[in-house]
Amino acid sequence: MRLVVTIPAYNEEATIAGVIREIPRTIPGITDVRVLVMNDGSKDRTSDVAREAGADEILMHAGNKGLAKTFQDGIECALAMGADIVVNTDADNHYDQSRIPELIAPILEGRADVVVGGREVDKLEDMKTVNRQGNKLGSWLVSRIIGRKDTLDVSTGFRAYNREAALHMHVFSRHTYTHETIIQALDQQLTVVEVPIKARPVARKSRLIKSLPSHIVRSLIVIFRIFTLYKPLRVMTIIGGIIFACGLAFIVRFFWFYFFAANGGEGHIQSLILASALIILGFQIFIIGLLASAIGWNRKLLEEILYRIKKEQTEHESPVYHEKTSSDRGGDGAV
């Protein structure tokens, strides 16, 4: 059984060597451990340092394409490398790579398709209070939306996927993949388990979170868009129901004035006009939800077709658009 550890990296020459060297190369139940670095257009020596530290494959982006795109490319390359399990970690040494055996244990035991390495946010003393509370709120919100009774750490990037789960991953967001892949996994009826693995403080400023308010807004937009994509009828029913209820409230308002006010309903006919517009709009949004749900069935069929195509391709093809380390290629040429 082959494990591929994927590491998205952008200008991480200072830390990536330590991350690679900390990855255990001998794990019970795993016959082969490979390290794949996805260099997302770094302008420093990230690739050279990673190669010297023992990376087996380096996926190159000519320019910076962002974390979500880099993660998706890494998953596809790992599958092409013959991965049975894919572990994703960060290049800034935020996670404890030595605990990868604990992270993949539920997959090896057949208890999970996706394993989330919970960062134990409450124990991260170096994390700012506002960041800690924001992480907890976001995790609680997404967990409730997807119907989990427990609260998953939905923002952690330390995760493990079995081959079936990796084949089902299709990232649409261009901001981050963390929330989307959790929602997607549960939509695909994959089993998601969390293993608590305390994260480590990172000295440098986050490159993903340039400002907390903008990150929160972008994350909420991603969550809303992805949830609408996978649960359109529920979202449209809620929105349409709220608007419909507002219309009914204006009707009730009109009849209250009609029966109890001294001048009857005189002067309040606009309430009926507004109520009619809101009720019609609410009903139309519900109909749009039905149409979107029907389109969603078509999307599921297309996803199944894409899954089968990817499965067949990764069983017969080797990775492309990457560099092999000198130990693999016996020289300095690139593939």
**Higher-pLDDT residue of 206, 137:** 137
* Alpha-carbon span 227 to 278, nearest angstrom: 24
What are the pLDDT digits (tens) for 135-194? 777 778 777 777 777 888 888 889 999 999 999 888 877 767 888 888 888 888 899 999
What are the pLDDT digits (tens) for 73-125? 999 999 989 999 999 999 999 899 999 999 999 999 999 999 999 887 766 66
Q: What is the mean pLDDT of residues 294-299?
A: 79
CB 46 within 8 A of CB 9: yes
Residue 203: exposed, middle, or buried by beta-carbon count in 10 A (0-12, 13-18, 19+)?
A: exposed
For the ranges 36-40, 207-211, 266-270, 289-293, the maximum mean pLDDT occurs at: 36-40
CB 232 within 8 A of CB 292: yes
What are the pLDDT digits (tens) for 122-135? 666 666 666 667 77
How, if at all, do strands 57-61 and 32-40 pair?
A: parallel
Is residue 62 pLDDT above 80, yes or no? yes
How far is CA 307 from each of CA 3, 166, 178, 291, 293, rounded to the nearest angstrom?
20, 10, 20, 24, 21
CB 323 within 8 A of CB 58: yes
pTM of the predicted model as reported, rounded to 2 decimal places = 0.73
* Alpha-carbon span 315 to 108, nearest angstrom: 21
Provide the CA 268 distance to its chain's centre, in angstroms. 49
Residue 174 backbone class (left: φ over 0; alpha: ψ -120 to 50; beta: rest):
alpha
Provide the CA 12 distance to its chain's centre, in angstroms. 22
Q: What is the mean pLDDT of the chain?
A: 82
Outline where the chain has alpha helix (H).
Answer: 16-22, 46-53, 67-80, 100-108, 129-145, 163-167, 178-187, 212-230, 232-260, 269-316, 326-329
* Alpha-carbon span 148 to 163, nearest angstrom: 23
| CA dihedral for 217, 220, 221, 222, sign (positive or negative) | positive
- Per-residue tokens: 192: 């998601």
